[in-house]
Structure 1
Amino acid sequence: MFKLYLDPGHGGNDPGATGNGLQEKNVNLDIALRIRDILNNEYRDVDVNMSRTTDTTKSLTQRTNEANAWNADYYLSIHINAFNGSARGYEDYIYVGLSESSQTAQYQDIMHNEITAVNELTDRGQKQANFHVLRESAMPALLTENGFIDNANNAAKLADASYRQKVARGHVNGLERAFNLEKAASETLYRVIAGSFQVKENAEERVTYLDSRGIPAFISETSVSGSTWYRVQAGAFRNRTNADQRLSEVKAAGIGDAYIQVEEGDNPEVSGYGILGSVSLAPEHMDQFVRSINPDAPSLGNYYLTFGEAYGIRGDIAFAQALHETNYFRFTGIVNEEQNNYAGIGATGPDNSGASFATPEEGVLAHIQHLYAYASTEALPDDYVLVDPRFDLVTRGSARDWVGLNGKWAVPGDQYGQLILGLYEDVVNASITQLQNVLDQIEL
């Protein structure tokens, strides 16, 4: 077991260095929490003890005494520099007087190389100093100075959550090499996604908001159907329970559409968007989105909201599924518009175009009931009469989330659920844009 004492410098009534709207104590803590999370979630046999996990005051003596009493294997102190506004770059320190052949110096070599490989800062070198945490710690110790907070260029980087994630990753890469850390045996990684945006500024606003709520987050770029999306990630976990806890925190902060992306080795899935759940989008947003593509599309958003809420089904995502099945209600496939069959229920080929329903309302109801058959083993609620002709042919509870429909609703359909969720993200982001336009008009 590798025992790391991780020390975010300053805190509480000691802000540390300040500049460009930033306080060192806050940046130190954010980077350290990210280091802790990466180690806890991606490595085995690692125990991390932090000097502080919130904005609290702790003396230098308390910190080193705690590390010594705990018999830590390594002391890592995170700091940000300041000088005259012109100085910039990264440097790190070990205790003064140690030889280049000492174990501490060898660890410094590795840590320095890994951190500077990713931190995009001028390399100011490896140094020595008589700092308390380096002098009084009984184990090898390193203090890193991750840029200058009073330098506009460095501060702009440090203000970016995605950059702080890079810095944290560089520290972890160094620890992995220096102490031969082993990756966790589980190949499954649960990423908490707190929104995807086509406009980077919107993603940055979401990250800033989450940071203000004490939830570390950063932006990662991904490609969906050839378009670049900026995905806000609020944690990655090897333990599903930890991921579920973080997801709950994100949703409690008001991000109702957060979900968990599950990665099994090289096979990523989107999960956490269960078929069962609350509708998040307003009906008018659903209808406005599809009419921006197909002006002749019917107004079905209210039906998907009403029936979705009645059955506890994510009616807004079911709406996205209908867009996929009907080509935005253009009906360019084997199902025709008069059938009111928005889910392709029973449609198997040119000779069998599937079920027909008397009204659009009935067609949406059948769609929601068919989803309920897949997502739940409970009896069908008695709010409405059963109109889905294939309800009893479904293996009940065989698909709890949208990806679970792969190979069931559509055959072979190995990306069926992912395509639906991609469309849903399009609808969500369009609704955000609509709301922002309204707010802009109000401000004018």
Structure 2
Amino acid sequence: MGRIFLSAAHGGKETGGIDPGSIAGGTTEAREMILLRDLIVTELRARSFEVLSVPDDLSAKQTIEWINSRVRRGDVALEIHADAASSPSVRGASVFYIANNDERKSNAELVLMGLLRRVTQLPNRGVKPDTNSGLGSLAFCRQTKAPALLMQVGFLSNPEDRALLQNRRRDFALGIADGLAAWSRAVDPGSGGGGATYPAINININGQKYSEQGILVDGNAYIPIDLVDRLQIDLSKAPNVRRITYRRIVYVKAIELREFNVSVSWDSASRTVSLRSNLLICSGQIDKIMSHGNASEVQLQIFLKNNNENALVRFPDIAKLYREEAAIEGVNYDIAFCQMCVETGFLRFGDDIKPEQNNFAGLGTIGGGSQAATFESARIGVRAHVQHLKAYASLEPLVQDVVDPRFRFVTRGIAPLVGQLSGRWSADLNYGDKIMAMLKRLYESAGLM
């Protein structure tokens, strides 16, 4: 039986000092996860499992390096987190797995069910591909050599979840230990490592069967490097993309090509990985704020409803409004719409901004007040959002009268690309990446990439 690597998220040294993770209720994510991790380790060792506890002072990158330098065939890895949301009502547990990996999805279900059976009061938020995370991918799931999962044990920002975690910490530990034990036992020690034999898989590119086959490694599809070259993707400056050599051929993990605007999907029935590179959008324009949108009104509506089934109840015309208002000012309505999804949590909003404020982008007021701006209608709220984007991305004058209360305070044209909004629109230095991850999710759901 393989070993279990267990990491308590945060607590290590990141840029700017020690990373506490989320902070709520007088405690930190790092503290709570370390306490929980220690109980899980004790429980698993009592069950005769060999557990390697990742040192607490390592950064996220160092954590992965520490595991990768020690990993052996048959090992598994789990990192535990406590989530946080702008609304304290959001709660529940979930597990993220690397996208397009059916095996890892099943592993995630084992671990999550272990916890939920022990702590029945904890809502089930389900298992999710890492493409559904805020940044569109999770390094712990992607870059760890062992099969890896990332678990959100609850929301530290929710008083009920926080109380459960602190008052029933041992039950959390027992449940997660149950899930990890089941996962570890299910791992086939012969499925990876030196001398292994990997099953062949089919490759479909742009609707056509590719003549060469790929391989399946730990549930992940790998494709030959020559196909990557044919797609005109330069991986020379992408050291984090996993490569392996098998029978004298170099293979690349297919899901990583998503970062190069290639859509990647997996069909387990036919054992086929499908790649789509004939984008219906211009890859060089995808992150330009002043550009054309590509999704239809219906595609925007479907994307929103798939992520919040109640979103269109209060704002039935939101997709139409973004398309119309953005087109008037020359702003990419797909980008504006996806920024709205990031800011409002797919129109769920939070305690700081109410739906009736019609503020879809976290716009502030003038005069130094702490309250967010309020707009008389959804259309005016969307218009203000679009105008604020145009202020950052363009030197051109507005077509319509100014309704954005902070338009005149923006240095015009300072951020023509989505990534340049990071640290400006939001203090979050990953803010632009989160919008781009949302944009890729939209385009994949609409079949545009």
Instruction: Tell me the TM-score range normalised by the shorter chain.
Output: 0.3 to 0.5
Q: Which has the higher contact order (CA 8 A, sep 6+)?
A: 2
Largest Rg, 1 or 2: 1
